[in-house]
């Protein structure tokens, strides 16, 4: 699929350190999850390369920080424009290595670019404060300064947007970065880095270390344990987040963590059912269910339970599964066999414990090894695995509930707290439930909540910090208090 790029030089297979493309001594294979075919071999860097990238970022920090925010913004804006200009090619690269339908991939390129635009502007508004004095001989000032060298470890489910959401605020603030993209999707990261080079990003400001799974662990150690790296931003599983947090303890690093979710999606009796069904489809099956804000548990009130299931099962049955390059495909392949096995085990466990199968339920083996049928399960109970763990696949488990208090208790009964959703037309209920859900984000009468202008992030074991919005700058700046005496 990559033979058809308009600009073949976007297909980079070397890593980027200090403005130089680095081949490394080893390589690893990148495969198309739809076909299993090898797409490319990419530089497999290790701990020594990570040290070199950190040193490059450290050297680049002084001059980059000394530029005005407006000068940095000009480079960032050029970068964003190049993402737009090459959106079709970037989408092709993404669909090839990640599997999502081409239209979704193109949407992600635009979404990814929107973080660069937003933070290029926000960088100009990193305001300080003057605090009224309590001593006439003194004046109190607060300024915000770039943290220093930042590291970003990113996942495969949004191969471009998860990079720009971290890197754009860091660069806009005046920090320099070392990125370790997911081993499944390095080509998207390298294409975006190539465009950063073309936009005039100075050497060392943005470095990309590609590596396979085992070298990623070694690089992770170096990034976490370096006392030059002042900040680590990670998006991925809660399990890996805990490991990185432990590794960062020694250097007391500032952390931004966007970890797992277990999103509840509640439909009350007074909901607009068609809208709720549309929201459930968008929230559940987008990216084949592989997003951390995907609805993971659907709770439907008794009065509309069967009616909702009828409407939803018709829509689920109409979803087209297939290669993301085929027109009209809604659900692409899953990322790997491990993902397939998890989805399969959640479905089999639910069926064994008495869930009712309304659609799908098994591998779509006729399409390839990594396709799973969009699945709808009814009469799911809290004992089933899918109610406790994030399925990360195209499976919608539906639970029946009676009262508002019961729905809130069920929804909050998890260690996760990223996204949640509910549907109601009652203004009192909207406030009550919106305030009672222990989540960083609540979608009310919508299944799609993410955009660059809002604070994205979780509570409980879903993470630390917020990305996007003006809040997204906070993690990349240090607050400094200046006390002026002898006035």
| Residues at the contact surface with ligand ADP, assessed by CB under 6 A | 153-156, 180, 182-183, 216-217, 220, 236-237, 240, 243
Judged by beta carbon, residue 153 or residue 407, the one nearer ligand ADP is 153
Structure tokens at 244: 């990185």
Judged by beta carbon, residue 359 or residue 370, the one nearer ligand ADP is 370
Minimum CB separation from ligand ADP for residue 343, in Å? 13
d(CA 407, CA 382): 12
- Among candidate residues 122, 183, 194, 258, the one labeled active-site is 258
CB 36 within 8 A of CB 368: yes
Minimum CB separation from ligand ADP for residue 127, in Å? 34
Minimum CB separation from ligand ADP for residue 342, in Å? 10
CB 246 within 8 A of CB 219: no
Which of 155, 167, 157, 188 is CA-nearest to residue 116? 167
Minimum CB separation from ligand ADP for residue 250, in Å? 15
d(CA 175, CA 138): 31
Judged by beta carbon, residue 17 or residue 378, the one nearer ligand ADP is 17
Judged by beta carbon, residue 106 or residue 180, the one nearer ligand ADP is 180
Judged by beta carbon, residue 240 or residue 281, the one nearer ligand ADP is 240
Minimum CB separation from ligand ADP for residue 152, in Å? 9
Name the burial class of residue 292, with classes exposed (0-12), middle (13-18) and buried (19+) by CB atoms within 10 angstroms of its CB.
buried
CB 377 within 8 A of CB 357: yes
d(CA 298, CA 263): 9
SS3 of 257-291: EECCCCEEEEECCCCCHHHHHHHHHHHHHHHHHCC
d(CA 386, CA 201): 45
Which of 158, 67, 52 is CA-nearest to residue 114? 158
Minimum CB separation from ligand ADP for residue 209, in Å? 10
Judged by beta carbon, residue 256 or residue 301, the one nearer ligand ADP is 256
Scanning the structure block, which residue is given the tokens 């009350």? Answer: 268
Judged by beta carbon, residue 165 or residue 180, the one nearer ligand ADP is 180
Phi, psi of 90 (to 5 degrees): -60, -40
Scanning the structure block, which residue is given the tokens 């075919």? Answer: 37
d(CA 432, CA 430): 6
Alpha helices (runs of H) in 286-383, residue ranges in sequence order:
305-317, 337-352
**Whether 194 is catalytic:** no
Minimum CB separation from ligand ADP for residue 474, in Å? 23
Cα-based distances in Å from 49 to 40, 68, 155? 21, 30, 20
Residues in the chain: 487
Cα-based distances in Å from 321 to 37, 330, 336, 373? 19, 6, 16, 7
Judged by beta carbon, residue 4 or residue 249, the one nearer ligand ADP is 249
Q: Please give the residue whose beta carbon sits closest to ligand ADP in the complex.
A: 220
Structure tokens at 255: 């952390």
Minimum CB separation from ligand ADP for residue 54, in Å? 15
Instruction: Report the catalytic residues.
Output: 258
């Amino acid at each position: 699929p990559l033979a058809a790029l308009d600009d073949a030089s976007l297909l980079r297979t070397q890593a980027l350190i200090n403005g130089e493309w680095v081949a490394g001594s080893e390589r690893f294979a990148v495969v198309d999850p739809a076909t299993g075919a090898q797409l490319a071999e990419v530089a497999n860097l290790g701990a020594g390369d990570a040290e070199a990238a950190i040193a490059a970022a450290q050297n680049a920090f002084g001059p980059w920080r000394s530029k005005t925010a407006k000068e940095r913004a000009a480079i960032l804006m050029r970068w964003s424009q190049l993402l737009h200009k090459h959106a079709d090619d970037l989408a092709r690269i993404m669909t090839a290595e990640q599997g999502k339908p081409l239209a979704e991939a193109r949407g992600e390129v635009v979404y990814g670019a929107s973080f660069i635009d937003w933070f290029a502007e926000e960088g100009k508004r990193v305001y300080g404060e003057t605090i009224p004095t309590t001593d006439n001989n003194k004046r109190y000032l607060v300024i915000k300064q770039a943290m220093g060298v930042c590291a970003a470890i990113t996942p495969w489910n949004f191969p471009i947007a998860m990079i720009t959401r971290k890197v754009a605020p860091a660069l806009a603030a005046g920090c320099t970065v070392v990125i370790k993209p997911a081993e499944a999707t390095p080509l998207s990261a390298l294409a975006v880095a190539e465009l950063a080079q073309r936009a005039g990003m100075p050497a060392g400001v943005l470095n990309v270390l590609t590596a396979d799974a085992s070298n990623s662990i070694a690089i992770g150690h170096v990034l976490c344990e370096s006392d030059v790296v002042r900040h680590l931003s990670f998006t991925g599983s809660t399990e890996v987040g805990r490991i990185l947090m432990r590794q960062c303890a020694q250097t007391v690093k500032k952390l931004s963590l966007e970890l797992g979710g277990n999103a509840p999606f509640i439909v009350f009796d007074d909901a607009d059912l068609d809208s709720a069904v549309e929201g459930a489809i968008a929230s559940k099956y987008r990216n084949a269910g592989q997003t951390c804000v995907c609805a993971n548990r659907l709770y439907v009130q008794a009065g509309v339970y069967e009616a909702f299931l009828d409407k939803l099962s018709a829509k689920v049955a109409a979803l087209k599964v297939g290669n993301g390059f085929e027109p009209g495909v809604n659900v692409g392949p899953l990322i790997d066999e491990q993902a397939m096995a998890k989805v399969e085990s959640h479905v089999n466990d639910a069926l064994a414990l008495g869930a009712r199968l309304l659609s799908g339920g098994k591998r779509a083996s006729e399409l390839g090894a990594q396709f799973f049928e969009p699945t709808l399960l009814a009469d799911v109970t809290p004992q089933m695995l899918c109610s406790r763990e994030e399925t990360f696949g195209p499976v919608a488990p539906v639970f029946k509930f009676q009262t508002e208090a019961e729905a809130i208790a069920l929804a909050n009964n998890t260690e996760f707290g990223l996204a949640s959703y509910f549907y109601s037309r009652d203004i009192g209920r909207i406030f009550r439930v919106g305030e009672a859900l222990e989540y960083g984000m609540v979608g009310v009468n919508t299944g799609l909540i993410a955009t660059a202008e809002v604070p994205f992030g979780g509570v409980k074991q879903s993470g630390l910090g917020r990305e996007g919005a003006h809040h997204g700058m906070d993690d990349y700046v240090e607050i400094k208090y200046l006390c002026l005496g002898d006035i």
